[in-house]
Structure 1
Amino acid sequence: MASYREIAANGLWKNNPGLVQLLGLCPLLGTSNSTVNALGLGLATALVLACSNAAVSLIRNAVTPAVRLPAFVMIIAALTTCIELLMQAFTYELYQILGIFIPLITTNCIILGRAEAFAAKNNVARASFDGVMMGIGFGLVLVAIGAVRELFGTGALFANMHLLFGPQAADWQITFIQDYKGFLLAILPPGAFIVLGLLIALKNRIDHAMAERAKVEEPETPTPSRRVRVTGVIE
């Protein structure tokens, strides 16, 4: 069984769902045109992922293989409905902006994939921790894309954060360029593909550099010397 450190490393970096598995690209690219949208969807996905992993782990020995997949989908759909109702109650304006992407959490490949590949084979603690780490990893990628697109598209960061955190977050916006004309490509769907591609390239470059450094720092194993005894007969 994987250790908690390995689970965290896989979710945040080595097997990140957004940069390595390339799952959930539809919400990843569709809602990441601003930081608040990305953060809202990232938190909702992480909550569903953690809770569904825990629930699937609890019932993993009680369901037969024939009904396992429908049972997993029902659990995920029920949790998504709960998150949707909470967002309608407390962050209604953000819920309206995210629109169909909230119900579509039910069909997110990340959630169903982790339920089948990990939660159904591990105990509740490990399954929940895996869900949290995968959710955080996915959310970080979402927020990174949203921040880059918002910065280049509008010249500001953290606009409209009151939609998620209430009136006290109304003055969180940071404007870097006054009277910025805007960069339309950044906030359009092609901008999301470009930023995601750059993030994947950056991760691959960092992994390559770390692998090269590990090779350099790895101590060479000395070759044991062998003493050969030669005997012969001279005629």
Structure 2
Amino acid sequence: MKKLSIIALALIFGSGSILTGCEAAKNTNNTQRGAAIGAVGGAILGGVLGNNIGKGGNTALGAVLGGVVGGVAGGVIGNKMDKQARQIDTALPGADVVRVGEGIKLVLNENAVRFDTNKSTLTAAAKTNLDKLVTVFNEYPDTNIVIYGYTDNTGRVEYNQTLSEQRAGAVRSYLTSKGLVGSRFTVTGMGIADPIATNDTPEGRSQNRRVEFAITANEKMVQDAEKEAQK
């Protein structure tokens, strides 16, 4: 699964030491990672992971980290998100799937979700790929999903802002037309913000024209996880 990334941070408090790195991460399970993330807090983790991930594209990441529950319940949620991330990665190989904290950041570039030029109309290929996501999202109904629309920097800022909102809205409309519950989705247009590649080349601009998802546990999943953690 080349496009599936798992970002884990093992944090141990006590003597003031913080263990990070591959070896520490490998020696923790999902429950321990969930507890560590809850102890640190989403805002701090957002800064740490944002610096490690690189330029741009951290809006969805911040939304994922903002929903951290932590503790044993966080570990339970993490296990469910692990499974969902693997299924998304298998169903849609062109997607960039990042499992972080207790949620998923999903990036769909133009290879996965393409729009007609200067329009918010989904192409037939885009609909086919979104259909693959519908199958996975149906299997995990207890999640909230924020959809972020992005553009490159070609044209006026105001125009791109509106276009990004319309494109994110088109994705939500298509997903709900396939039976997914509309209340699960929130739509945000980001325009030219948070580029993940240079806007100086056609290839870079293509990468920046994208849709991102922030997938987090809804209240029911949190409550169920807390009940399971008490067993």
Q: Which has the larger radius of gyration?
A: 1
Give your verdict on TM over 0.5.
no
Tell me the TM-score normalised to structure 2 length.
0.29
**Whose helix fraction is larger, Structure 1's or Structure 2's?**
1
**Whose strand fraction is larger, Structure 1's or Structure 2's?**
2
Bigger RCO (CA 8 Å, 6+ sep): 1
